Amino acid sequence: MRMIVEGALFVADSHYPHHGDGFLTLLQKLEKGESKTPQLFLMGDNFDLLFGYNDYIQTFSSEAIQLLQDLSRQMEIHYFEGNHDFCLQELFPDINVYSREDQPVYFKLGEKKVGMSHGDRFATGAGYDLYCRIMRSKTTLTILKPFEKAIINDRMKKLLQKDICHTFTGFEKRVEMIMKDYADCDLVIEGHYHQARVIGNYISLPSLACQGQVAVLKEGRIEFISL
């Protein structure tokens, strides 16, 4: 089981490029050495829409994609695919990419077992699970390829107008349901919900797009910091 090391950086839900340039700016600082980390955990939805087997979708985020490809040859990066960014392994061959089916992934933090996921894996319902299997399939993406520009342009337009920052009413109850699937973990780290909260042993990471924050491991503790 891999270790989370001191100074590890966790970035979730940047929703680039529609909801600010925070993600691109962070990658630029890492590339220039202005910011440093021994491990970069990208916890999903860092791109507002990005998937593999498609060249056109890459044109919306080409600079960030190139920076990530360059950084992946210099540092340890873990990418937890989200519901907005998936089928990414061919795009980032030097990054440890985890599909929804591969999640949660387990790491060690000192003596603790840590379960990590984007956050849309559990307590989501059978309908959503089926939708994910269909839409994150290479077969589906290949079938839709002749219509890619019309579909992608329409989707990108809608995502640009979407309000993604909300307080999740009753979030404690959702966390209680999620934690049933992490019964053997000492700590859980997820993104997806944009809440920036710690509830017991559950860490809901901040959204870079919403709170303008990331998380970092300092002296064995996960802390939220503003960029």
**Beta bridge partners of residue 11, listed in sequence order:** 42
Q: How far apart are CA 18 and CA 15, in angstroms?
A: 6
pLDDT tens digits, one per residue of 170-201: 999 999 999 999 999 999 999 999 999 999 99
Residue ranges of domains in the chain: 2-226
Query: What local confidence, expressed as pLDDT, does residue 173 receive?
Result: 96
Minimum mean pLDDT among 20-29, 94-103, 129-138: which range? 129-138
Q: How far apart are CA 85 and CA 15, in angstroms?
A: 9
Options 3.60.21, 2.30.30, 1.10.3720, 3.90.930; CATH for 2-226 is: 3.60.21
pLDDT tens digits, one per residue of 197-216: 999 999 999 999 999 999 99
Query: What local confidence, expressed as pLDDT, does residue 132 receive?
Result: 65
Residue from 45, 54, 52, 57 nearest 162 by CA = 45
Is pLDDT above 80 for 31? Answer: yes
pLDDT tens digits, one per residue of 32-66: 999 999 999 999 999 999 998 888 999 999 999 99
